[in-house]
Amino acid sequence: MTRALVLGGGGITGIAWEWGLLAGLAEAGVDLTAADLVVGTSAGSVVGAQVASGLDPRERYRAQLEPPDGEVAAALGPGVLLRYAVAMVGPGTPARARARIGRMALRATTEPESARIQVIESRLPVREWPDRPLLVTAVDAGSGEFRVFDRDSGVPLVRAVAASCAVPGVWPPVTIDGQRFMDGGMRSSANADLAGGYERVVVLAPIARGLGQLTPVATQVEALRARSRVALVTPDPAAVRAIGRNVLDPSRRAQAARAGLAQARSVLGQVREVWAD
């Protein structure tokens, strides 16, 4: 066990930004897709499934530049964000806070679960779990329990990714073994602690902040640094502008990807220092 790649959540624009970074770094000779472990949360699970399956990041980057024909924008409205905040700062353990968000997710009026899974399947050019270790995160909407799926979990890859991407209040929780699961980002936007034990870790986090009992990525990265060499990459100011305020808007996908590609140049040194043998 030597190198782990952690891919955090961040909506459609986060997927695009991550592919831009991965493509730019690959062009510069730093191949993060050679990771021994891939950890994917929410948007990062979409990218992670493809990375672990061996897809070329430069080809996947080019796919982000295609017009988003037929894709409908969604948004985390003020009401949803307020309910997140109230749930996260309420009393009790982090699991109880997540369960409060889960209750909101289960009550929300959304598109049917089956339709959402079809959308995820259409965006995911791989269908089977890869041979390389891949961890996909989710949260039990009923109990708030954190769950990690892998190829030994007995869960179809598309359904695991759909669960990891099930943004509460926007998309429906996904049924797995009779339980309903929501976005793994409700524990942490990247869940970087799952890379513990690996010597070299690179974390790409479109969203790094925490809220209430939602653990910030930086906190997990600092804990990892006690035993590992770690590089944390978050959007630079140009990427933040490109991504905009609505990470679920497909019309901003191409510009987010280009911003990731451009940012790869400025982070190349720190990533190479951690990743290179």
Going along the chain from its start, the domains and CATH numbers come out as 3-72+110-275 (3.40.1090)
Give the orientation angle of helix 157-164 with respect to helix 43-52, to 10 degrees. Answer: 150
Q: Give the tens place of pLDDT for each residue, 162-201.
A: 999 999 989 999 999 999 999 999 999 999 999 999 999 9
Q: Give the tens place of pLDDT for each residue, 49-93.
A: 999 999 999 999 999 999 886 676 676 666 666 666 666 766 778
Q: Of 183, 188, 189, 249, which one is the catalytic site residue?
A: 183
Per-residue confidence (pLDDT) for residue 80, from 0 to 100: 67
Q: Write the DSSP symbol of residue 245.
A: S
Q: Write the DSSP symbol of residue 140.
A: E
Annotated active-site residue 183? The verdict is: yes
Whether the predicted pLDDT of 159 surpasses 90: yes
Annotated active-site residue 42? The verdict is: yes
Strand pairing class (146-149; 134-140): antiparallel
Q: Of 42, 45, 164, 228, which one is the catalytic site residue?
A: 42
Question: Hey, what are 208's tokens?
Answer: 């790094």
